Every structure is written in structure tokens, then in C-alpha cells.
Amino acid sequence: MPELPEVETIRRQLEPWIIGQTVVGATSHPSHKFTPAVEICGATFVSANRRGKFLLFGLDDSRELVVHLGMTGQLLPHAARDDKYLRASWDLASGDHLGFRDVRRFGRIRVAEDGVYEGALATLGPEPFDPAFSPQSLWMAVKKSNRHIKTQLLSQRVVAGVGNIYADEACFLAGVHPGARKLTKAKAERLHDAIVTVLRQGVDNGGTTLRDYVAADGEAGNNQFHLVCYGRYGEPCVACGDELRRTTLDARTTTFCATCQTR
Ligand SMILES: [Zn+2]
């Protein structure tokens, strides 16, 4: 599933291309997830922003096109129109078009009034690169809950944009057991710094491609070559050499080092 670094890579690529483009036509597969995606005909894109894993394309009529890529969603300029996985597409006055391709159909498209959100987007925690996300904010948020640390990170309420890959990486880097339920202040600081570090590295590497993710230019990311924990169970820990273990935490497969990561 695309997480913050993958979504941010797509945003950065689309921004210079999409701003100034006017929608002259649109089609989408009938789906309750897409209503009313086709209702932006006549509007011009004026911005390309991101909140957590959501893409927010500002329009010149005080509305936003909100896209969540789900598990396998891809936003592709010039997507092949006969692709059977193309779920929506927007024709642009320039003659270009933007396609939304989604094999597993967990993606969501909405149109919102500027800044007026509902559902998960309305309850997102702070952006990881924003000063609002701090060791103190992380410590306070975790203190209020008794759920596993990893589950809290995945909730999007403690910090926006972290999914399974970057949660495993951040917990490993911080030496925090993903199944811990409390954090000391010192560990909250380490985990905060680790979250920022792994997400920034993910963005710098153009995202992580395991199966489906490609950026808007159709290219895979490079961060999968830099992962030190996620998915590497059975391999030696890069820090201590012990074998990385796999467990299931709240239904999510989790890799960790039982020696380096403590509760
Ligand atoms: Zn270790």
C-alpha cells in the first residue's frame, strides 16, 4: 500500500504537470467510492497538495479532488485508455489526460469543498515533517492509548502517513518493540526521530516498490533497497546479527529484532 513517501513522490511529479490544466471531460467506473469524481468538468487545477496518504488537488472553484490510492492505485498521465484496470480518467484541455488505475479497487476518489473533509481525512494526526509532530506530541498521544505502538502509528492519528513498511522500519531504528503499549520520554524521542528519518529517506529514494507502486512517471521507487527490517524476517539483524522475527500484531504482519527492540 502506498504510504507517505510514495504518495509524496507522486505529488511532486504531478504538481508541475497538472497545475493550470482544465478538465474538459471525465469518465469513471460506476462505484460508490468514486462519486462524484466526474463532477469537476470545467474546473482548472491550481494546486497539488498531500495530507498523510491523501492527495488533494485544488481546483479554481474552491473545491478539491481528493484521491486515496488504497492498496494498488496509480495516477498516471497518459494512462492507456484500453487498460482494463483504468477506473477513472480526466480529459484535459491541453489534450493530455490523467488516468486512475487500480487493480484491487480499494482506491477512493472524492470531491470536497476546500478544506472541508469527512472520514479518515478529517481525523488525521500531524504531518511528520511539521513542527506539530514532536517527541512531546508523540509521547502524549501514545500515553492516552493502551494499544500496541505499531497499531497506534498505523491509526494515522498519532502521525499521518505511516503504514506497515515505515512503521516496522521506524520501530526498528528506534529500538522500540512494535508490541509495546507505553513509551518512556526517551523512547518517544527516538521513535519520533526515527519516523521522520525513515519517511524522509523514503521520499529521497522515490518511494518503496514491492509490487504495484509506481510513481506518476511509471517508474518504480528505490527505497526497497534501503529497508533494514520490513519483510526481512529470517535474515540477520543489521545491528546485532540475531535473526529477525515475524509476528502478527492486530492482524498486521510485523518484522522486528527481539534483541534490539525492547518494550
Ligand atoms: Zn538486533
What is the layout of strands, in order, in the sheet containing 23-28? 23-28, 86-92, 97-102, 73-77
C-alpha torsion 9→88→37→114, nearest 10: 10
Nearest Cα residue to 35 out of 112, 101, 90:
112
Task: For residue range 115-124, list pLDDT tens digits in order.
Answer: 999 889 999 9
pLDDT value of position 37: 66
User: Could you say which DSSP state residue 242 is in?
Assistant: P
Task: Say how far apart CA 100 and CA 122 lie, in whole Å.
Answer: 23
Q: Indicate the CATH number of 135-256 among 3.40.50.300, 1.10.8.50, 1.10.10.10, 2.40.50.140.
A: 1.10.8.50
> What tens-digit pLDDT sequence spans the chain (263 residues)?
899 999 999 999 999 999 999 999 998 888 777 666 678 999 999 999 999 999 999 999 999 999 999 999 999 998 888 999 999 999 999 999 999 999 999 999 999 999 999 889 999 999 999 999 999 999 999 999 999 999 999 999 999 999 999 999 999 999 999 999 999 999 999 999 999 999 999 999 999 999 889 999 999 999 999 999 999 999 999 999 999 999 999 999 999 999 999 99
Note if 53 is an active site residue: yes
The sign of the torsion formed by the CA atoms of 247, 252, 257, 263 equals negative
Half-sphere exposure of 151 (CA within 13 A, CB side): 13
Length of the chain: 263
Q: List, for residues 23-71, the tens digit of each pLDDT value.
A: 999 988 887 776 666 789 999 999 999 999 999 999 999 999 999 999 9
Describe the strand order of the beta sheet including 63-68 as a list of residue ranges: 45-51, 54-59, 63-68, 108-113
How high is the pLDDT of residue 93?
97
Q: Do domains 4-123 and 135-256 have the same CATH topology?
A: no
Residue 153 CA to residue 170 CA, distance in Å, equals: 10
How many CB atoms lie under 10 A from the CB of residue 186?
10
CA of 164 to the centre of ligand 1 (A): 19
User: Has 182 been annotated as catalytic?
Assistant: no
Q: What is the pLDDT of residue 35?
A: 61
Q: Which of 50, 53, 110, 150 is catalytic?
A: 53
Q: Which three cell numbers stand for residue 27?
A: 469518465
Bridge partners for 56 per DSSP: 49, 66
What local confidence, expressed as pLDDT, does residue 174 receive? 98
DSSP string, 16-45: HHHTT-BEEEEEE-S-TTTTTGGGGTT-BE
* C-alpha of residue 127 to centroid of ligand 1, in Å: 29
For the chain, the structural domain boundaries read: 4-123, 135-256
Question: Measured over all CA atoms, what is the biggest interatomic distance in the chain, rounded to whole angstroms?
Answer: 59
How remote is the CA of residue 236 from the centroid of ligand 1, in Å? 8
Strand 63-68 relative to strand 54-59: parallel, antiparallel, unpaired?
A: antiparallel
User: Would residue 3 show up in a list of annotated catalytic residues for this protein?
Assistant: yes
Predicted TM-score (pTM) of the model is 0.96
Give residue 188 CA to ligand 1 midpoint distance, Å.
19
- For residue 54, CA distances in Å to 7, 14, 195, 206, 218 come to 7, 14, 18, 17, 19
Fold of 4-123: N-terminal domain of MutM-like DNA repair proteins (3.20.190)
